[in-house]
Amino acid sequence: MIRALMTAASGMKAQQMQVDTIANNIANVNTSAFKKNELAFREMLYETLREPGAPTAADAMSPTGLQVGSGAEIASSLKIFKQGEVAPTGSRFDMAIAGQGFFRILLGSGEFRYTRDGAFRPDGNGQLVTAEGLPLDPPVRIPSDAIEVIIGQDGIVSTLKAEGQAPEQLTNISLFRFPNPTGLKAQGGNLYSETASSGQAQQAAPGFDGTGSIRQGYQERSNVQVVDELVSLILAQRNYEINSRAIKVSDEMLQQVNNMIR
């Protein structure tokens, strides 16, 4: 019965983690380019009290054994990199990626981070930076005399210096793709870093190698579906509840043992 107590407690812990994950998804329903998290559960160790196929007599064996599981645990968390809805924002420096690619961001330390949040703004020098002021890499500098900036689907940035003139090609924005994006490490602030499991970032021009095209003036919304999250939340709550019932029953049975001899 102590085993049943522990087993049910492991179920409650797993469901609690599930609620934590769902709460984080729901909290980020308005975060641009947020990718929802999912948990993968797995069974814990089984205790074999009697081997299946153990001999019961000289010429007989038991067709089934006695194996009791010891609960559930979290195997891993998964980021679901499904495309979020792409919505117009009206800001000409906003970029959304329709595809699998990432923008690369340069940190002050010289390290790289990757993001799908394309809400860039020019800083004092005209360089495109994220909301935290981290520059896009390879860098894009918008000249101060530009009256219009055009970012093509293929990542080519052109500027218009004066009305009626031909646009001048400035630079290219590159996108990056990973063999296994679920293996990226989420760093908070919509940034991801490369890991051994994600594989090396592969640079490509937008629209090539499945990176996807860039949409100027659009932002990718979070890919969290509130209805799905609510259904999962209800399920997690009920599963939590029923595991707590199992604890209560084991407790009552233990109490029975204590009261047996008076």
Partner 1 sequence: MNQGLYDGVAAMSSAERRLDSIASNLANLGVNGFKRHGAATRSFDAVLRGVTTRQVATKTTIDFQQGTLRPTGNNLDLALAGEGFFVVETPQGEAYTRDGQFRLDDQGVLQTHQGYPVAWDGSRGTIDAVGDEVRVDPGGQVWQGGTSIGRLKLVNFDSPDQLRPNRNGLLTAPAAIDDAAYTAEVRQGYLESANVNAVDEMVAMISAQRSFESAARMLSMIDQTYRRLLSSQR
Residue 86 CB, nearest distance to partner 1 (Å)? Answer: 17
Q: What SS3 class is residue 86?
A: strand
15 vs 159, beta carbon nearer partner 1:
15
Contact indicator for 118, 220 with CB cutoff of 8 Å: yes
User: With binding defined as CB under 8 A, does residue 27 bind partner 1?
Assistant: no
Q: How many residues bind partner 1 (CB under 8 A)?
A: 72
C-alpha to C-alpha distance for 25 and 221, rounded to whole angstroms: 13
Among 57, 58, 59, 63, binds partner 1 (CB under 8 A): 63
Q: Binding string to partner 1 for residues 220 to 249, with x set by CB under 8 A, is what?
A: ---------------xx-xx--xx-xx--x
User: With binding defined as CB under 8 A, does residue 207 bind partner 1?
Assistant: no
User: With binding defined as CB under 8 A, does residue 260 bind partner 1?
Assistant: yes
User: With binding defined as CB under 8 A, does residue 70 bind partner 1?
Assistant: yes
User: With binding defined as CB under 8 A, does residue 58 bind partner 1?
Assistant: no
CB neighbourhood size of 199 (10 A): 15
| Touching partner 1, residues 146-185 (CB under 8 A) | 177-180, 182-183
Pull the structure tokens for residue 4: 């049943």
According to DSSP, residue 28 is labeled T
Residue 182 is which amino acid?
A: T
Report the candidate in 98, 102, 80 with the shortest Cα–Cα distance to residue 191.
102
